[in-house]
Chains A and B, each alone.
Chain A
Amino acid sequence: MRRIVAPITLTLPGQAGASHPAPPAGAVPAVLPLPGSTFCWRGRRYVIEAILDSWQEAGCWWEGEPVTEGFHVAFRGGGTGILLFRQPRGPWVLDRIDD
């Protein structure tokens, strides 16, 4: 996978607009890149087909770093990527891509 680390705007299915506020981090991810969610990057539109795996990272909490949700997703039409979401408000970040 290539390392990208670029902020993106993820649109959830049936919803227009940018990221939304999320409740405090718990075990259950408060946000999900649901199948059908879309984002654009380098002129190309990506559609999430499925969530292959998800995890959560506490980060350097002693330095105030926020909790990050990570998702390994499959794209419609092939390829996978890793999306990160920094609690509580994002942004979404395209961390890696394999296309």
Chain B
Amino acid sequence: MFVHLHVHSPYSFLEAGSSIQDLVDQAAALEMEALALTDRNRLSGAVAFTRAARAAGIRPLLGAEVTLTDGTHLTLLADGPEGYATLSQLLTHAHLSRPRGEPAVSPEALEEHHQGLIALSGCRRGEIARRLLWGDRSGALRAAQRYASLFGRENFYIELQNNRLPGGRALNAALREIAQRAGLEWVATQNVHYATPDRFPVYDALTCVRTGTRLPDVHPERRLNGTNYLTSPQEMAALFPDDPRALQNTLEIARRCRPALPEKPPNRFPAFPTPRGESTIAFLRRLTYQGAWRRYGRLTPAIRRRLEHELAVIEKLDVADAFLVAWDLVRFAQARGIRHAGRGSAADSAVAYCLGLTEVDSIRRGLLFERFLSLERAQKPDIDLDFEAERRDEVAAYVSRRYGADHVASVCTFQTYRARSALRDLGKVLGFSDEEIGPLAKRFPHIPADRIPQAIQELPELRESRLPLERYQLLFELAAQVAGFPRHIGTHLGGLVLSREPLARVAPLERAAKGVTILSVDKDDVEALGLIKLDLLSLRTLSAVGTATRAIQVREPSFRYEAIPLDDRATFQMLGEGETVGVFQLESPAQRALQARLGADSIEDVVASVALIRPGPIQGDMVEPFLRRRRGLEPVTYVDPRLEPILEKTYGVVLYQEQVIEIATVIGGFTPGEADQLRRVMTHYRSHQEMERIGRHFIEKAVARGTPREVAEVIFSYIVGYAGYGFCEAHAAAFADTAYKTAYLVRHYPAEFYAALLSHQPMGFYPPNTLVHEARRRGVAVLPPDINRSEKHCTVEEGRIRLSLSLVRELGETDVEEILAARASRPFTSLQDLCRRTRLTREGLTYLILAGALDRFDPNRRRLLFSLEEALRHREQPLTPGGSGPAQQRLDLAPRGPRPEVEDFSPDQRLLLEYEALGLTTQRHILTLLEPELRRMGVTPARQLRQMEAGQPVRVAGLLIRPHRPPTRSGRTVIFLTLEDPTGLVDATVFEHVYQRDGEAIFGGYPVLVVDGRVAWRGKGVSVEATRVRAFRRSPKLAPAAPGGAAG
């Protein structure tokens, strides 16, 4: 019959209209025995395609349509694993030897890398077809002979296509003639760019996106028609009626090719260089026990048993190298004073603890190793290490040096279309202006593009908006169809892959922004290639901790972050009041509300907190029972006594993934590895029937071990209630350590810590303005930037935070460095001096003035602005030694004569302008401008809510901070939002019926909201249950300046 050998998926970037799954499904529906994937200059879809094809019973053929340096195309197919490695190297060369985004294969590269490849002559942009279209028959024949000589006659085919283009018949006749004269075979392909004809419109629209054109525009890359789909064998026979050989040859090629990617990939992780004569596992064992002595002091039999168990699994899975590589990195970081912390399921490992990869004692916490690594799952270990953000790249550079640049690369990430990006790109194509599409796109929450139709129906901020939605009908339809299609390839923030053999043989490498070399395979597909991904993540919190620690040590040299006591009463008291703005993991409104109810008094409570505010516990109805039992309001009971040791730390509530594994082990008799697999299956279950089947399996095993059936059913209901969303306890414990310690810093060193948070933005939940006013509420004064005192980062001056120069708008990193460098020789003496000694732009200087950074020269900021022009003009006139020019310039004399009389900005104006310059205010809160009006409206300040009783009606208002809608137990929408006013933060809860009516106000982009509702108390936390939400639309009236510039 026929096999398609020239097919593009969305990994050809804006050149395909159907997903890989849709292509495979259609090929299966057409009963094709095989399908090739030949994306443009990439193999990024190889793993997903192979997986999908195998699942559908179709043999996957891998290849690529490559661009040659002369601009022509060539279709290449891998005839097996060697061919795949060759193609991967060829594509790597094509990407790395050329400017980014312009890969091309040179004849020399093709000469070097062609073994194991079957080549087809390509589409109309193939050299042979192109020459024929130009009328150069002899040139076409020579090209055919050249390719035949390079690849071998049996590995090069002339490619015929019938996409119903003018001149197609004549071209195909000429191509056949060339083939016959050159002694070559020929094949028919359809140059497929989508699965079915109805996907042509979206493909055409994406072509416009790619070429920067609109639909009515003509462009040579626009296809004339929609025939580039997966045609059936019958259609191919009709398109090539007198040429069955062209169709038959596709089958012969398909049957020649062996699987390019093996079902079980080999272990490609590099062998760690161990001391001579010592095996990897022996070296790991030695290091583990050395670490164990350091950690535990005395090695009990239980500790030894645990370590030996883990080492045995590590040895059987042949992953000791991964642990040693991670240990080596941590050692490097420690030697250079780079802050680090382990996270994730690696904290389930006692070996990881002994090696210093994590700070979680998994033995003491009773954490199950099998959550991290098990024989049954046989997956590669996922080791995640956080490093302070600014120095993470030093660690990555070390990896590259240690293992060889050819053997290390960053993992890539694909930025794919979601609702907003799809609307923007396709909106342009349909001719809408940026001014129209921008606001429309912003109305949509961050949802997948295929949820656009649903969002329009269900979300009040769209339904009730005054936008003419029917005008965008076609746009919505097209946007929904590109859900998940890759748009760009970029660097994954932390993932690195290391390989024993040169990585280019495993998958193609290319260059991302900033010259980073990336493996062009998605992070989730890396393991299928036999690679292990190490996550070296940048955590700005660690950077903030480092900065704060250094600042604290200026006045308290003995302070050590690692030595912070884990039982500080004052810190727990602060947590219990929900005063956690700035605390890692515990600062969101939901967390603040939880802390106020929980009253944490131990690190265990903090661990539980991290795990509780997640979709799973909320949807699984765990939060309330946990809190009630924790506070002794409800008895803790166990339906089976064997559950007690597993669940007592969480008061009988299933909270952690490790607990599910333990329950399945103890009650159901599963091995820990089987239990972890069970957990994973439950996480990804696709249907109710599947979950029922799992339930029956569990219950039967439990009953066989003597558990009464009804008890087994109840126990299973605990696990099902959690399914899919529970948190990994090890990860929670790892995070809790940092969460508690940052809380300690907030409580005892607020100036240093908030200065550090402000220095490492963007980070955390709250914007800088909120952090500044939180610091002020804690009694820490905040000083505006000062041209002669401020640094690149915020600093602490006698217990007060001095804002940095970096916070000033329009000042980039180089500007700040220039200021600091110039200032190093001597301080600036005037605006004119500053202008002369730096090349700051007019905008940068303006914002420095408005931020108050130049108040030392003249407290009248308006007058400073007026003199800016002259100062800039003097800068443009270069000094000529001995020449003419005002004597003042050469001698740096201050301007003579009285200062011009200029009335300064009013206090209100200064406040607004400060906000514009810094994005925050340092003395008064920006909302004080609205205070008279808000008072007239009967708004209650945030601070006064604590004096009110539950159920009392109240009106609150403030700057809107990050409204969000987490998933809920009931499935109905609940919005949590925070309003900030001059006295503090107010949390408000908006339930579904209010959201349906007022959602437009919440998500319409309004900066200030007014919320009517009732006071709600939960534990020590107070909030407002909203009954009405409105946008405050009036812009603030500024109080007129009094004569002489005094406060008005």
Nearest-neighbour CB distance to chain B for A32, whole angstroms, equals 10
- Cα separation A62 to B163 with both chains bound (whole Å): 21
Nearest-neighbour CB distance to chain A for B1024, whole angstroms, equals 48
Interface pair A57/B201, CB less than 8 Å apart: no
> B201 — nearest CB in chain A belongs to which residue?
A61
Given contacts A27-B163, A61-B200, A62-B474, contact A53 B170 (CB under 8 A): yes
Interface pair A67/B225, CB less than 8 Å apart: yes
Tell me which of A29, A62, A70, A72 has the highest count of chain B C-beta atoms within 10 A of its own C-beta.
A62
Cβ–Cβ < 8 Å partners of A52 in chain B: 169
Interface pair B224/A56, CB less than 8 Å apart: yes
Given contacts A26-B235, A27-B227, contact A56 B201 (CB under 8 A): no
Interface pair A27/B235, CB less than 8 Å apart: yes
> B429 — nearest CB in chain A belongs to which residue?
A62
Given contacts A27-B229, A53-B166, A53-B169, contact A61 B239 (CB under 8 A): no
Nearest-neighbour CB distance to chain B for A65, whole angstroms, equals 11
- Cα separation A28 to B168 with both chains bound (whole Å): 13
Interface pair A58/B204, CB less than 8 Å apart: yes
B868 at the interface (CB under 8 A from A): no
Nearest-neighbour CB distance to chain A for B46, whole angstroms, equals 27
Cβ–Cβ < 8 Å partners of B513 in chain A: none
Interface pair A57/B225, CB less than 8 Å apart: yes
Chain A 12-25 per-residue mask, 1 if CB under 8 angstroms from chain B, else 0: 00000000000011
Where chain B touches its partner, the secondary structure class is loop
Interface pair B215/A62, CB less than 8 Å apart: yes
> B215 — nearest CB in chain A belongs to which residue?
A62
Partner of A55, one of B168, B197, B204: B168
Interface pair A27/B215, CB less than 8 Å apart: no
Cβ–Cβ < 8 Å partners of A67 in chain B: 225-226
Cβ–Cβ < 8 Å partners of A53 in chain B: 166-170
Interface pair B430/A27, CB less than 8 Å apart: no
- Cα separation A72 to B216 with both chains bound (whole Å): 26
Interface pair B231/A27, CB less than 8 Å apart: yes
Cβ–Cβ < 8 Å partners of B225 in chain A: 55-58, 67
> B171 — nearest CB in chain A belongs to which residue?
A53
- Cα separation A61 to B238 with both chains bound (whole Å): 25
Interface pair B474/A56, CB less than 8 Å apart: no
Given contacts A55-B165, A61-B204, A62-B215, contact A25 B197 (CB under 8 A): yes
Partner of A27, one of B167, B190, B201, B474: B190
Cβ–Cβ < 8 Å partners of B223 in chain A: 58
Cβ–Cβ < 8 Å partners of B215 in chain A: 60, 62
Chain A 33-68 per-residue mask, 1 if CB under 8 angstroms from chain B, else 0: 000000000000000000011111110111000010
Instruction: Give the residues from 43 to 99 in chain A that come closer than 8 angstroms, CB to CB, to chain B.
Output: 52-58, 60-62, 67, 70, 72
Cβ–Cβ < 8 Å partners of B190 in chain A: 27
Cβ–Cβ < 8 Å partners of A27 in chain B: 162-164, 190, 197, 227, 229, 231, 235, 239
Nearest-neighbour CB distance to chain A for B330, whole angstroms, equals 57
> B163 — nearest CB in chain A belongs to which residue?
A27
> A82 — nearest CB in chain B belongs to which residue?
B166
Nearest-neighbour CB distance to chain B for A60, whole angstroms, equals 7
> A54 — nearest CB in chain B belongs to which residue?
B164
- Cα separation A22 to B293 with both chains bound (whole Å): 83
- Cα separation A9 to B201 with both chains bound (whole Å): 31
10 sampled A-B residue pairs with Cβ under 8 A: A27-B164, A27-B229, A27-B235, A53-B169, A54-B164, A55-B168, A55-B225, A56-B224, A57-B224, A61-B201
Please list the 6 inter-chain residue pairs (A to B) with the smallest Cβ-Cβ separation, ordered nearest first: A27-B227, A56-B164, A56-B225, A28-B238, A55-B166, A58-B225
